[in-house]
């Protein structure tokens, strides 16, 4: 296994819609294992394939370190089937280091996906798991959390980012 490079804003792969996974081979299994290792090393609670430069509809999530009793989840070709309610969560993103923002999301979601062997599964989630699922699926659709905040906050983020790049941070 290997720790992969996490792509940072404004890398183009982060803004592109990922392609569906059609082949469940050794390369896919290796990518899943490497993504899991990368997520834990970062450390993060989720990681989508575009964040490691791969245009695949694949994400891994593990919120068990955050007082929740869910096992590691591998999602392939996930689709949000239903959304209910609204919740606001303070979110961070491995592709936007040192930045967090309050984001409004659905409070409850039902997601259909395939597991790492290609078997269909359905996840009904609330709280942090619902937020993590929506966050990672956003990555697969070419969206970052800054796309979910107000235009004013987004402009503030972009100005701060440009300034940090000039300072070499």
Catalytic residue list: 136
C-alpha to C-alpha distance for 81 and 108, rounded to whole angstroms: 11
> Which of 126-155 are b and which e, b meaning 16 or more Cβ less than 10 Å from the residue's Cβ?
eebbbbbbbbbbbbbebbbbbebbeeeebe
Q: Are 12 and 57 within 8 A, CB to CB?
A: no
Q: Which two tokens stand for residue 81?
A: 């089937």
Environment class of residue 43 by beta-carbon count within 10 Å: exposed (0-12), middle (13-18) or buried (19+)? exposed
Q: How many residues does the chain have?
A: 169
């Amino acid at each position: 296994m290997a720790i992969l490079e996490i792509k940072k804003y404004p890398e183009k792969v982060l803004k592109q819609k990922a392609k569906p996974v059609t082949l469940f081979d050794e390369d896919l299994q290796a990518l899943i294992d490497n993504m899991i290792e990368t997520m834990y090393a970062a450390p993060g609670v989720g990681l989508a394939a575009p964040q490691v430069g791969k245009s695949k509809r694949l994400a891994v999530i593990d919120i068990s370190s955050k007082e929740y009793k869910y096992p590691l989840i591998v999602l392939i070709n996930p689709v949000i089937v239903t959304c209910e309610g609204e919740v606001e969560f303070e979110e961070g993103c491995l592709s936007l280091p040192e930045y967090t923002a309050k984001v409004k999301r659905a409070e409850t979601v039902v997601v259909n996906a395939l597991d790492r062997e290609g078997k269909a599964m359905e996840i009904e989630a609330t709280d942090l798991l619902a937020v993590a699922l929506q966050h990672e699926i956003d990555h697969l659709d070419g969206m970052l959390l800054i796309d979910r905040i107000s235009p004013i906050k987004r402009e503030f983020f972009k100005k701060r980012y440009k300034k940090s790049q000039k300072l070499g941070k």
